[in-house]
């Protein structure tokens, strides 16, 4: 355990801090994973005293912590929290922050950038005025840059200041229990590992469906869209884990090396195959959302059909589907095995990531009784249905903060992964818009644009409902 560590959270009055970071730190504190003298410094512009901020934090922690909230535990946690008022875009203000750290003898740092990406570079510049900040670690939220050029410039700036192995680019989906489980399910079960290839699998479907719209984040979302907000980071990470070769060890660098090979092997999308590769949609009512351009063509839905060009996955489609304001909330990975004959339903292994966590396997049986009819049944393991697993399973942010403290980098995104996926996403968007392909409108609370049904001709999400 690091001694006397200081977590400084830029964006400490934001949604992410209140809903995720403070509850995660509370859980870590209660379960003894913070050092006795570790401190949390909250940076915000508002005029709060420590006690004002702690009182606000109490409401959020009591509502969102995984471990039971008690006044006693919270008092112990709150005593570590200090509020420091500053405008982080004001370069001069960092002199004051530097003095504050020195007065309180806070020298070992983890900086958390829980702010919009346009501020990442500004904060790094400001930290150049803080003694010893360059020796600290930094956790940086997604999206890493708003496009490839911005991501590249940001990366150069970050790496010029922080040591590259102290930069933790967080993709909190990689902290989710069932994403972590993909490699165990796949590699420790010969019934799956032996069949994990295009020879035995018909297609793989990765879905991230949301029932909510853009809510209060219209301004950010409108400049981003589904491809940049979900596919470039979370869903490409999951795809690369599902498709990678088995690393010699599941340590950071070996796993990254296998993941990046997958991303680099994605079949390039060009004008001639764009219509078979991408379909975009926008929910009706999006243009009336707050801070959204009334003429916006930003996609709130994306369906992709991609191919990984290597021996294992030759000509087998990977479907990715994500969108907002859909009929239900669901994130899962479905492995659809080849059928024994065309009229018989496939075996499907479904790894459910959220909101339910579990594993489901569909297979065929004879309908009981005096009949030869074939019907499908499913074996299921719903991990999150059991209280014991729910309470004992750290939340994604808790895991990621813990990993950063321990210097464990396996589940953070590396620059080459980010760069490769940005290149792919920027290209596919460019080709789509250049061909003047439509952004199809869809009715909220449906499965998305009806045009996607044909595009996703193998895709049948109803199998598991």
150 binds ligand NAP (CB under 6 A): no
Distance CA 170, CA 168 (A): 6
DSSP-derived 3-state class of residue 441: strand
Q: Which residue is nearest to ligand NAP (CB)?
A: 14
Q: Which is nearer to ligand NAP, 12 or 448 (CB)?
A: 12
Q: Which is nearer to ligand NAP, 16 or 185 (CB)?
A: 16
| Residue with the two structure tokens 């400490």 | 12
DSSP-derived 3-state class of residue 116: coil
Question: Which residue in the list 234, 256, 328, 461 is annotated as catalytic?
Answer: 234
List C-alpha distances in Å: 178 to 27, 181, 207.
20, 5, 14
15 binds ligand NAP (CB under 6 A): yes
267 binds ligand NAP (CB under 6 A): no
DSSP-derived 3-state class of residue 246: coil
Cis preceding linkage at 150, omega within 30: no
Quick note: the x/- pattern for ligand NAP over 44-83, rule CB under 6 A, is xxx-------------------------------------
What angle in degrees, to the nearest 10, is found between the helix axes of 236-243 and 252-264?
Answer: 100
Q: Which is nearer to ligand NAP, 35 or 219 (CB)?
A: 219
Which positions from 88 through 127 interact with ligand NAP, judged by CB under 6 A?
Answer: 88-89, 114-117
CA angle (159, 165, 168) in 5-degree steps: 85
247 binds ligand NAP (CB under 6 A): no
13 binds ligand NAP (CB under 6 A): yes
Task: Return left, alpha or beta for 87; rule: phi > 0 is left, psi -120 to 50 is alpha, else beta.
Answer: beta
Distance CA 254, CA 291 (A): 43
Q: Which is nearer to ligand NAP, 56 or 116 (CB)?
A: 116
DSSP-derived 3-state class of residue 398: helix
Q: Which is nearer to ligand NAP, 230 or 452 (CB)?
A: 230
Residues annotated within the binding site are 45, 87-88, 142, 172, 176, 210, 229, 324
87 binds ligand NAP (CB under 6 A): yes
Residues annotated within the binding site for NADP(+) are 45, 87-88, 142
Active site residue 234: yes
Distance CA 352, CA 184 (A): 14
**Helical (H) or strand (E) element with 94:** helix 93-103
From 6-14, 63-71, 367-375, 411-419, span contacting ligand NAP (CB under 6 A): 6-14
* Contacts with ligand NAP, residue ranges (CB under 6 A): 11-16, 19, 44-46, 87-89, 114-117, 141-142
Residues annotated as part of the active site: 234
């Amino acid at each position: 355990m690091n001694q006397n560590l200081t977590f400084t959270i830029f964006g400490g009055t934001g949604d992410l801090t209140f809903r995720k970071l403070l509850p995660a730190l509370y859980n870590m504190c209660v379960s003894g994973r913070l050092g006795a003298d570790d401190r949390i410094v909250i940076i915000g512009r508002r005029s709060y005293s420590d006690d004002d901020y702690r009182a606000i934090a109490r409401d959020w922690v009591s509502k969102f912590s995984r471990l039971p909230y008690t006044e006693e535990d919270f008092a112990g946690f709150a005593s570590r929290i200090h509020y420091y008022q500053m405008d982080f875009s004001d370069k001069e203000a960092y002199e004051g922050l530097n003095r504050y750290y020195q007065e309180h003898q806070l020298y070992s740092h983890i900086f958390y950038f829980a702010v919009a990406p346009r501020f990442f570079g500004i904060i790094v510049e400001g930290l150049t005025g803080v003694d010893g900040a360059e020796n600290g670690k930094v956790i940086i939220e997604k999206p890493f840059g708003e496009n490839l050029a911005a991501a590249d410039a940001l990366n150069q700036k970050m790496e010029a200041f922080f040591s590259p192995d102290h930069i933790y680019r967080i993709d909190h989906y990689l902290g989710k229990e069932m994403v972590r489980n993909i490699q165990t399910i796949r590699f420790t079960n010969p019934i799956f590992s032996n069949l994990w290839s295009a020879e035995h699998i018909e297609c793989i479907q990765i879905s991230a469906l949301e029932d909510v719209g853009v809510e209060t984040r219209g301004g950010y979302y409108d400049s981003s869209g589904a491809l940049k907000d979900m596919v470039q980071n979370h869903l490409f990470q999951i795809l690369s884990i599902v498709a990678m070769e088995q690393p010699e060890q599941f340590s950071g660098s070996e796993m990254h090396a296998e993941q990046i090979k997958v991303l680099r092997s994605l079949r390039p999308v060009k004008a001639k195959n764009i219509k078979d590769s991408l379909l975009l949609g926008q929910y009706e009512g999006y243009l009336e959302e707050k801070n959204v351009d009334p003429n916006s063509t930003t996609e709130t839905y994306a369906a992709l059909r991609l191919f990984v060009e290597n021996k294992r996955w030759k000509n087998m489609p990977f479907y990715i589907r994500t969108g907002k304001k859909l009929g239900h909330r669901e994130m899962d990975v479905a492995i659809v095995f080849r059928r024994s004959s065309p009229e018989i339903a496939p075996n499907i292994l479904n790894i459910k990531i959220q909101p339910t966590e579990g594993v489901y396997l569909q297979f065929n049986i004879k309908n009981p009784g005096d009949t030869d009819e074939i019907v499908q049944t499913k074996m299921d393991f719903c991990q999150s249905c059991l209280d014991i697993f729910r309470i004992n399973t750290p939340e994604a942010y808790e895991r990621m903060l813990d990993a950063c403290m321990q210097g464990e980098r396996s589940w953070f995104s590396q620059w080459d992964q980010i760069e490769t996926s940005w290149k792919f996403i920027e290209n596919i968007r460019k080709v789509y818009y250049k061909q003047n392909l439509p952004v199809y409108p869809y009715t909220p609370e449906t499965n998305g644009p009806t045009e996607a049904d044909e595009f996703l001709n193998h895709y049948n999400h109803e199998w598991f409902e």
